Amino acid sequence: MAYPDDVAAHIEHEAAVARRRFRSRVAMLTGASVVLDLVTAGLAKLFENGASHDFATYLDALFWTTTQLLTVSSQLPNPERAATKVLDVILEAWAIIVVASLAATFSDLLHHRTRHRAMRERRAGAS
């Protein structure tokens, strides 16, 4: 069974849209994560000021927020103030959202790539 050229063009267009969507979603998640990391580092430094394990510099706070985004737990001391604990939970929730969003984004791209590849194989087999 031969596929009409308009169906092939439609599937090709869908694959191109999926690639653009993939790139834009990954860029958006990366950008939002970097902004969240930078902002929460400043807030963590502010909130933990005066605590027994406060952050000496902004870079120390940035290191803590980055490790909280990238790991489930770290060997760094837990925050002492309630506001910083809330920030910690927000960072961990964001990390879960990012992982789930990336999984969905990859799934969307792979679905369109598989559909595109199957269409090409069917067309090659029909010729």
CA-CA distance, 20 to 32, in Å (whole number)?
Answer: 18
Q: What is the pLDDT of residue 1?
A: 46
120 against 1, higher pLDDT: 120
Among candidate residues 75, 96, 78, the one with its CA nearest the CA of residue 86: 78
Question: Quick check: helix, strand or coil at residue 4?
Answer: coil
Q: Check pLDDT > 70 for residue 2.
A: no
Question: Using one digit for the tens of pLDDT, what is the confidence trace for 46-94?
Answer: 999 888 888 999 999 999 999 888 877 666 677 888 999 899 889 989 9
